[in-house]
Amino acid sequence: MQQDFYIKDWVKIKNGKISNSKNEIYNPSEKNLDIFLKSVYDFLELNYPKFHKMDGLSKLGILGTEILFRENSFSTDTALILSNNVSSLETDRQFQESTKTFASPALFVYTLPNIVLGEISIKFKLQSENAFFIAESFNAELLKNYTESLLTSGKSSEVLCGWLNLQNGEYDVFLCLISPEINISFSEESLKNLYFAEND
The pTM is what? 0.86
Write down the mean pLDDT value for the chain.
84
pLDDT at position 136? 83
Burial string for 7-36 (b: 16+ CB within 10 Å, else e) reads bbbbbbbeebbbbbbeeebbeeebeebeeb
> Are the C-beta atoms of 17 and 194 separated by less than 8 Å?
no
pLDDT at position 30? 80
pLDDT at position 187? 93
> Are the C-beta atoms of 109 and 160 separated by less than 8 Å?
no
pLDDT at position 33? 87
pLDDT at position 200? 47
d(CA 82, CA 96): 25
What is the CB neighbour count within 10 angstroms for residue 193?
13
> Are the C-beta atoms of 18 and 25 separated by less than 8 Å?
yes
> Are the C-beta atoms of 87 and 200 separated by less than 8 Å?
no
- Closest Cα to residue 159, out of 143, 138, 182? 143
Regions of the chain where pLDDT drops below 50: 1, 88-93, 95, 107-111, 200
pLDDT at position 182? 84
pLDDT at position 54? 86
pLDDT at position 9? 94
pLDDT at position 32? 85
pLDDT at position 108? 40
pLDDT at position 134? 82
